[in-house]
C-alpha cells in the first residue's frame, strides 16, 4: 500500500500543489464563512471536477456538516475527503479471470494521442512482472505507425506482438493473436484498437466484430478506455462516447502526472459511474498504479 500511495502522490504532485492544496488550506481557518463555500466551488471547478459534480459534492458536504453538526475546519476537511472517496468508489466488476486453457482478454480503446499504446506497454510490463505470459494484438490496422509503435514497445517489454499489414482486417489480427495465445499457453492477451472517432457506427461495427472473434473463449472481456488526463473535460466527453459505444468496463487515466487538474477523475466516476482501473504516473514502464480511491484522495490533500 505504501508503494501505491507513493506512486499516486508523485503522479498527483501538480494537482495537489495547484488546486487541492488550496482546498485543504480553506479549512485551516478558525471560522468558515459563506464565502468559503464559494471559494471551494471555484477551486473544485478549476481542478476539472466539473460544474455538475462540484454542485452535488458540495450539497452532500453541506448536508453532512448540518446533520453531524461539524464546525471545526479539520472535521469538515475530513468529511470532504470522505465524500470524495464515496464518489470514487464506483463498483468495479471483477476483472476477467483466465480459465484453464483460456487467456485473459483486455480490449483497449481510446482516441489517437491519448497515450493508449504506452499504457498497453505498461499493462503488459505489469502482467509480465507477475510472471504471466503476455501477447499483444496490433489491431489498430488503420495506421502503420500504430503497428510499428506497438512492435517497438513489445520488443522493449519482451512480449510477442501479432500484427498484419496496414489496412488489414482488425478482427483477423485478433483471431490470429488468440490462436497464438492458445498455442503458446499465454495467460493475457491485450488488444490495441483504432482510435479514430469519425463515426460511432464504424467504431461500433469494428469493435463488435473484434468482440465476436474474442468471444470464442468463454471469459469476460475487459474493455479498458485510455484517457489523457491533460485533456480535462474533453476527457469526460470521450469517456461518455466510448462508454455508450462499446461498454467500457474500466478507465486507464494516462499522463496524470502531466496535469494540474486531476479532478477529472471525480467527474468521470460521478457522471458516468465508470470505475478508474489504473493511473499513469510517469513515463517509465513501471509508472503505473492500480487506482485506489483512498490513496487518491490522501495524495491530493497530503
3-class DSSP assignment, residue 189: strand
How high is the pLDDT of residue 2? 42
Instruction: Rank 1-15, 47-61, 91-105, 246-260 by mean pLDDT and report only the highest.
Output: 47-61
- What are the pLDDT digits (tens) for 249-258? 899 988 877 6
pLDDT of 94 strictly over 60: no
What's residue 260's pLDDT? Answer: 57
pLDDT of residue 1: 38
pLDDT at 36: 86
Give the residue with greater pLDDT, 158 vs 36.
158
CA neighbor of 275 nearest in space, from 89, 148, 54, 126: 89
Q: Can you give the pLDDT at residue 133?
A: 95
Q: Which three cell numbers stand for residue 96?
A: 476477467
Nearest Cα to 298, choosing from 25, 45, 74, 12?
12
Round to whole Å and give the CA distance between 103 and 259. Answer: 35
Closest residue by Cα to residue 236 from 211, 268, 205: 268
Specify the 3-state DSSP secondary structure of 3.
helix
Side-chain-facing half-sphere of 222: CA atoms under 13 Å: 28
Q: What is the pLDDT of residue 15?
A: 58
Residue with cell 494540474: 260
Q: Edge to edge, what strands does the sheet with 188-192 contain? A: 160-162, 134-138, 188-192, 104-109, 221-228, 250-254, 276-280, 288-290
> pLDDT (tens digit, 9 = 90+) per residue, 140-171?
998 899 999 999 999 999 999 999 999 999 99
Reported as type and span, the H/E element at residue 104 is strand 104-109
Mean of all residue pLDDT scores within the chain: 84
Q: Could you tell me if residue 213 is left (phi over 0), alpha (psi between -120 and 50 degrees) or otherwise beta?
A: alpha
Give the angle 133-112-17 at the CA atoms, nearest 5°: 90
Distances 244 to 61, 90, 106 between C-alpha atoms, Å? 30, 17, 18
Quote the CA–CA distance of 95 and 6 in Å, as a whole number. 24
Higher pLDDT, 16 or 261: 261
- Residue 230: is its pLDDT beyond 90? no
Residues 11, 289: contact at Cβ < 8 Å?
yes
User: Which residues have C-beta within 8 Å of that of residue 78, sequence separation ≥ 6?
Assistant: none
Amino acid at each position: 500500500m505504501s508503494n501505491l500511495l507513493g506512486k499516486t502522490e508523485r503522479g498527483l504532485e501538480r494537482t495537489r500543489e495547484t488546486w487541492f492544496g488550496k482546498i485543504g488550506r480553506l479549512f485551516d481557518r478558525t471560522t468558515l464563512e459563506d464565502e468559503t463555500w464559494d471559494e471551494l466551488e471555484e477551486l473544485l471547478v478549476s481542478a476539472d471536477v466539473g460544474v455538475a459534480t462540484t454542485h452535488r459534492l458540495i450539497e452532500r458536504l453541506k448536508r453532512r456538516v448540518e446533520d453531524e453538526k461539524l464546525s471545526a475546519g479539520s472535521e469538515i476537511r475530513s468529511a470532504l475527503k470522505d465524500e470524495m472517496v464515496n464518489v470514487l468508489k464506483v463498483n468495479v466488476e471483477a476483472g476477467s479471470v483466465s480459465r484453464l486453457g483460456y487467456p485473459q482478454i483486455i480490449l483497449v480503446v481510446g482516441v489517437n494521442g491519448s497515450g493508449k499504446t504506452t499504457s498497453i506497454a505498461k499493462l503488459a510490463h505489469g502482467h509480465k512482472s507477475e510472471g504471466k505470459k503476455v501477447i499483444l494484438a496490433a489491431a489498430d490496422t488503420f495506421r502503420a505507425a500504430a503497428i510499428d509503435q506497438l512492435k517497438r514497445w513489445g520488443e522493449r517489454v519482451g512480449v510477442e506482438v501479432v500484427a498484419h499489414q496496414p489496412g488489414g482486417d482488425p478482427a483477423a489480427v485478433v483471431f490470429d493473436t488468440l490462436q497464438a495465445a492458445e498455442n503458446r499457453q499465454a495467460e493475457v492477451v491485450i488488444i490495441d484498437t483504432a482510435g479514430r472517432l469519425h463515426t460511432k457506427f464504424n467504431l461500433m461495427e469494428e469493435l463488435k466484430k473484434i468482440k465476436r472473434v474474442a468471444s470464442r473463449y468463454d471469459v469476460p472481456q475487459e474493455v479498458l478506455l485510455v484517457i489523457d488526463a491533460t485533456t480535462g473535460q474533453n476527457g469526460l466527453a470521450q469517456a461518455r462516447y466510448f462508454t455508450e459505444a462499446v461498454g467500457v468496463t474500466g478507465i486507464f487515466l494516462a499522463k496524470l502526472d502531466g496535469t494540474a487538474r486531476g479532478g477529472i477523475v471525480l467527474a468521470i466516476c460521478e457522471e458516468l459511474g465508470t470505475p478508474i482501473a489504473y493511473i499513469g504516473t510517469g513515463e517509465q514502464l513501471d509508472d503505473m498504479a492500480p487506482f485506489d480511491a483512498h490513496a487518491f484522495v490522501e495524495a491530493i490533500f497530503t
